[in-house]
Amino acid sequence: MSVTLLIRNNFNRLPLNSGKILAHIPFQYRPGIGRIYKNRRREIAEFEDMSISAKKSFIFRRIYKLVEFSFSNISFYKEYYEKNGFQLSDLKSYEDLYKIPIINKSILQEYPLEKRTCLVPDKYLENTGGSSGRPLSFFIQSNSMGHEWAHMHTIWAKLGYRPCNLKLTFGGRSDVEDFLQYDSVRHHFFVDIYADFSLIAKKLKTVLKKNNIYFLHGYPSAIYEFAINCENLNSELLEMLKKNLKGIFLGSEYPIPLYRNKIEEVFGVQSVSWYGHTERAVLAYEKYEKFEYWPFQTYGFAEAVRDGNGKFNLIGTSYYNYASPLIRYNTEDEIEPIFRDGLLRSFTIDGGRKGEFILDHNRKQISLTGLIFGRHHKIFNYCSFIQVRQEAPGKATILITPNSSTSEVSAFRDLFDSKNVEIKFEFQEISEPIRTQSGKVNLLIHT
């Protein structure tokens, strides 16, 4: 087992006082990840000042090395590339990278994991897509922690974050002990988002009497729910948190403006959001403006490629995963790209990720972001969450999680603006929002 995995798996249960000491050790000096972390932070800074030709050379060298390795060591790539008439000799310059065949989740699922994997040491199994019904398993190299943290710390530093700052994290873990569990490697308290708020609040107040929480981090939907509960049910806890809070990190979900605005209003601090996924092929963040994501080309090669319908898909290549390489991997997320000198500079996502739409009576796609959040529905005065489930084209159910000032279900129809939409809506009240297996609250429910 590598030093990185040893630390991650065995030193994350240290008590808080020991964790505070560990948190003050600079990451560039930490065993197992220090050298990689230092190199990535240096690259991030240097890449900013490179000429366009130097940036393209940086990208080309890393992808050529990865393709060369994959041709020789991974049967999937050798078979798939030969099938599509691509050879390593085709790669002579940056422009040739676009000759590499694009892959996607469906293509990878046709091959067993062993054909997509190289037996490099110190790797661990990951999977993605289970909530969409299309799971994909793959391996990640253990040294990815150094690459990951170097880039994440760059994002969080926008709001003044330092690794010694204690965070409160909201995610989908199902094994959180006693409602609030400390992780000494990541120096954060992990919240059991499935637990009753009153139990979380009681435990958190105890922590806050002796410790300062500087940042909130996690799913926007979970932090939004926490914010509403703090505002409506426990003003004392809210004031304790606001005393030292510096910012909020919104990851893993698209930060729906309704949620985000409420979070910032309740806690009185700014937030930063980023685009990333379990596959670790693309990482992009709000460098300047909200909802405009700038990819780290030091993390992986990010591209925007038109599909058969003229839409741009986000394509990513992970530079540093040789266990289960993803080369020109189509995330299948539709974006609006901005290019500079032939590179993807930044992009926006139209309301979330692909699939956030329903079909009207004529099978026309209706954007859920526009339908739900682009109209001034009075129904928002009576609910904490709205989710949508479609039974058939032209028919959909609006799932309502009511707040304390609830209304009758029969009145919901009058509070929901469905003008000019060829869909028959039904309304259903539910006590809690429907979560995915990983704990996220999606707008579109696939059940």
Predicted local confidence at residue 412, as pLDDT: 83
Q: Greater confidence, 394 or 122? A: 394
Q: Is the Cβ–Cβ distance between 429 and 400 less than 8 Å?
A: yes
Task: From 65, 91, 135, 56, select the one nearest 321 (Cα to Cα).
Answer: 65
Confidence of residue 355 (pLDDT cuts 50, 70, 90): very low
Non-local CB neighbours of 318 within 8 Å, separated by 6+ positions: 279, 280, 281, 300, 325, 326, 329
What type of residue is 326?
L
Segment 185-192 mean pLDDT = 94
Predicted local confidence at residue 420, as pLDDT: 75
Q: Judge residue 177's burial from the number of C-beta atoms within 10 Å of its C-beta, 0-12 exposed, 13-18 middle, 19 or more buried.
A: exposed
Segment 237-245 mean pLDDT = 97
Predicted local confidence at residue 254, as pLDDT: 87
Distance CA 194, CA 343 (A): 42
Residue located via tokens 């630390």:
7
Backbone angles phi, psi at 21, to 5 degrees: -65, -45
Q: Is the Cβ–Cβ distance between 168 and 213 less than 8 Å?
A: yes
Q: Is the Cβ–Cβ distance between 168 and 215 less than 8 Å?
A: yes
Segment 217-232 mean pLDDT = 92
What residues form DSSP beta bridges with 293? 286, 347
Distance CA 389, CA 54 (A): 48
Segment 71-76 mean pLDDT = 95
Task: From 344, 285, 350, select the one nearest 311 (Cα to Cα).
Answer: 350
Predicted local confidence at residue 193, as pLDDT: 85
> Could you report the per-residue pLDDT of 281-309, keeping only the tens digit for each?
999 999 999 999 999 999 999 999 998 88
Specify the pTM: 0.84
Task: From 169, 179, 182, 266, select the one nearest 219 (Cα to Cα).
Answer: 169
Confidence check: pLDDT of 7 > 60: no
Please state which of the ranges 12-21, 105-114, 377-386 shows the lowest mean pLDDT: 377-386
> Could you report the per-residue pLDDT of 127-153, keeping only the tens digit for each?
775 444 456 889 998 888 899 999 999
Residue located via tokens 């092929």:
281
Instruction: Using a pLDDT cut of 90, give the percent of the chain over it.
Output: 62
**What CATH topology corresponds to 33-145+277-349?**
Rossmann fold (3.40.50)
Chain mean pLDDT for the chain: 89
**What CATH topology corresponds to 357-445?**
GMP Synthetase; Chain A, domain 3 (3.30.300)
Segment 24-36 mean pLDDT = 92
Domain coordinates in residue numbering, the chain:
33-145+277-349, 357-445
Could you tell me the two tokens for 143?
């040294």
Task: From 312, 374, 311, 319, select the one nearest 346 (Cα to Cα).
Answer: 312
Distance CA 350, CA 356 (A): 9
Confidence check: pLDDT of 352 > 70: no
Confidence check: pLDDT of 2 > 80: no
Q: Is the Cβ–Cβ distance between 401 and 427 less than 8 Å?
A: no
What type of residue is 438?
S
